[in-house]
Amino acid sequence: MILPASRRGLLLASLLGAATIGVAADGGWPAVGGDAGGMRYSPLDQVTPRNVWQLRRAWTWRHGDLDRFPDRRPFAGFHATPILLPETAGGALVVCTPFNRVVALDPATGAERWQFDPKIQLASAPQRLKCLGVTYWEDTEAPADAACRHRLFSGTNDRRILALDALTGTPCPGFGAGGIVDAWPLFAATEPAPADPWEVQFSAPPVVAAGVLVIGHINNAKNQKARAAAGAIRGFDARTGALRWTFDPSAGVGGANAWSLLSVDEQRGLVFVPTSSASPNWYGGTRPGNNGYANSVVALRADDGTVAWSFQHIHHDVWDWDTPSQPMLVEFPVGGRKVPAVVVLTKQSLVFVLDRQTGRPLVPIEERAVPTDGVAGEQLSPTQPFPVRPPPLMSTRLTPDDAFGLTFLDEAACRQTITGARHGDIYTPPSTTGWIMYPGSAGGMNWGGGAFDPVTGLLVTPLSRIGLYLKLVPQEQVPEAAGFDPTRGAPMGPPAAIAGTPWAIEQRLLLGPTMIPCTKPPWATLVGVDLAAGEIRWTVPLGNISKLSPLSLPLDWGAPISGGPIATGGGLTFIGATGDARLRAFETATGKEVWSTALPASAHANPMTYLADGRQFIVVAAGGHMFINAAGIDDQLVAYAIPPAPAARDAPSPGAQTAPR
């Protein structure tokens, strides 16, 4: 049941209170995650299940950088979520391109207002290029009419931090050198240091708390060598760009970087950092122990970078199950009151709920025994943490009996692959005979995270349900020239050496001869979870395989995904994410798909929504993905809205609610 707008507004006010983490009551979208705590929720209720069918494309904007750099097209992922600035900061819609141009658009028309091009220095060899968004901050200590009182911050692929005036796009002269901080010298001076500058990149936007700008980074070599670059998180003065502090989660080992989005609780002065595994992936013999702050959510005090608390969701990770998504800050019911909480979504499809101030579990967590018989030189943890509720959001066990194929030959080949490899439940150890990971290293859940509706208490998140086959091979059995292809980010195919270890790694998607997954469909799902009850309320397929199957089957069996959802006060969840190039709307309460429309390319960015000229817009970047649909890389930002009256009508007949496929 969808609550009337008046009741939803009252209930929302009672749940959020005056000192919230920043849901924009005016219908704005001031941060990439909707608010600083990443709920990805808007109270806007103009678009509902009754009228969503009326949505039409309102405008399209193309960033044009693919035409400027045609040789980089296959590597440029337009996965940014725009933000909407408040009217005091110009009211523009601001987005970044994969080449780190920052562009301000008119939110009602998509017309450009200004743009700033940092002219990034590209590597000699193609690298993945992406920018997930920009960050807005108001310097309340500056005079009301001062330049750069309203600032935008963005990190670049070539390791610089930009500070721009939000009204004009002009660099802020008091920040670093002419509005730019070059962070490469800091990377080069931190042990372990990158062997090459392009081992590290900025892609996720920084955050600001207590006047300190905090930023993590991508580590492109973590799967290639035992001592990859340190995963240092750094805090800079938001006014001057001066380095304030450095926190290294890897403790000198390397990796454990935070490549996903950070969250902020400004009231408590805390920054929540989602860290990855320590280096290298797949083998931990060179880094014994639990690897402390790796695979964790670490709460840092923004003013000095010290640790307030941390929670590790994997001990001694050898599965590349990084903490993928932005820690979600919500109000969680405990004993009749609302407790500020952090929700941690993992690639393993597990959901943890922690006290935001202390890190203590608000839902009990059990350490359960897992296998420890890994390869020679390995020391696996005898236990791993599991929440008592909710259960895993997908199956975490795969056996030969689960093999799937469109034909008998397909199914037989898949069964043979699973039988010949080590298989079983989650945390199956890496093996020299091959092993099956399910979920794979891409999840389960991934960087797009989930959306939380504070009125219904439902968490909605997508999950990938495609397995992975991997095998550790002694390096002496691998040709000396074999290595990681830097243009692909991760190896898929023959074994590639992991420098500093005895091993090479072979990995590939768990697919049959016709390139159909060996796991039963659906291969992607959208799941609704009652967070307070710890129960899965609904699970529905996400995506259609008509464009992805060599047989062009029009089946709703789920599609390869990357990206996430948003939830709205109108009772809808919007999501692209799928490789079938569609944007969809689901009833948040039931999971029923009530609308979908074709996009010019697949949208592997989270959508966003806002109010402009009295209309609710839903906007998403349709840019494709180099690992999902490399031939479909594009550069379009697409906005949808219900046309102004008199075109609006009452709900149509049931058969007209979904746009044609």
> Which DSSP symbol is given to 631?
G
Q: What is the phi/psi pair of residue 419, to 5°?
A: -60, -40
How high is the pLDDT of residue 126? Answer: 82
Is the sign of the CA dihedral 290, 294, 299, 305 positive or negative? positive
- Identify the helix (H) or strand (E) that includes residue 409: helix 408-419
If you search the block for the tokens 């492109």, which residue do you land on? 220
Distances from the Cα of 323 to the Cαs of 64, 157, 236, 293, 298, in angstroms? 33, 21, 24, 11, 11
H or E stretch covering 13: helix 5-16
* φ and ψ at residue 67, rounded to 5 degrees: -75, -30
Question: pLDDT for 263-312, tens place per residue?
Answer: 999 999 999 999 999 999 999 999 999 999 999 999 999 999 999 999 99
Q: How many residues does the chain have?
A: 661
| Predicted pLDDT at 110 | 98
**Given 45, 158, 265, 320, the catalytic residue:** 320
SS3 379: coil
Over the range 346-371, which residues count as b (16 or more CB within 10 Å of their CB) and which as e? bbbbbbbbbbbbebebbbebeeeebe
Residue 23 domain-assigned (yes or no):
no
Active site residue 165: no
Residue written as token pair 């002219």: 119
| Inside any domain, residue 46 | yes
Q: Report DSSP letters for 207-268, one per residue.
A: EEETTEEEE--EETTTTTBTT--B--EEEEETTT--EEEEE-TTTTSSB----S--EEETTT
CB 252 within 8 A of CB 274: no
Question: Is 136 within a domain?
Answer: yes
Structure tokens at 88: 């005091």
Which residues contact residue 143 at a Cβ distance below 8 angstroms, ignoring those fewer than 6 apart? 149
DSSP H or E segment with residue 153: strand 150-155
Query: Residues 419, 436: contact at Cβ < 8 Å?
Result: no
Residue 24 in domain? no
The whole-number pLDDT of residue 627 equals: 85
Domain-embedded: residue 21: no
Q: Residue 161: how many CB atoms within 10 A of its CB?
A: 22
Number of structural domains the chain divides into: 1
Q: Which residues contact 485 (CB under 8 A, 6 or more apart)?
A: 491, 496
Secondary structure of residue 617 in the 3-state scheme: strand
Query: Is residue 25 domain-resident?
Result: no
257 domain-assigned: yes
- Whether 653 maps to a domain, the answer reads no
For the record, the structure tokens of 451 come out as: 């959306």
Mean pLDDT of each 10-residue bin along the chain, 661 residues long: 40 38 71 98 98 98 96 94 97 98 98 98 89 98 96 98 98 97 97 95 97 97 94 98 97 95 97 98 96 97 98 98 98 95 98 98 98 96 98 96 93 97 96 96 94 97 96 88 46 82 94 91 97 98 79 79 96 96 97 97 96 97 89 94 72 40 35
CATH code for position 352: 2.140.10.10
Residue 497, both tokens = 């050496």
| Cα 595 to Cα 79, 566, 642, distances in angstroms | 22, 15, 13
Question: pLDDT, tens digit, for every residue of 514-572?
Answer: 888 999 999 999 999 999 999 999 999 999 987 666 666 678 899 899 999 999 999 99
Token pair, residue 459, equals 């968490």
Instruction: For residue 75, give its domain range.
Output: 31-122+131-643
pLDDT at 21: 46
pLDDT of residue 252: 86
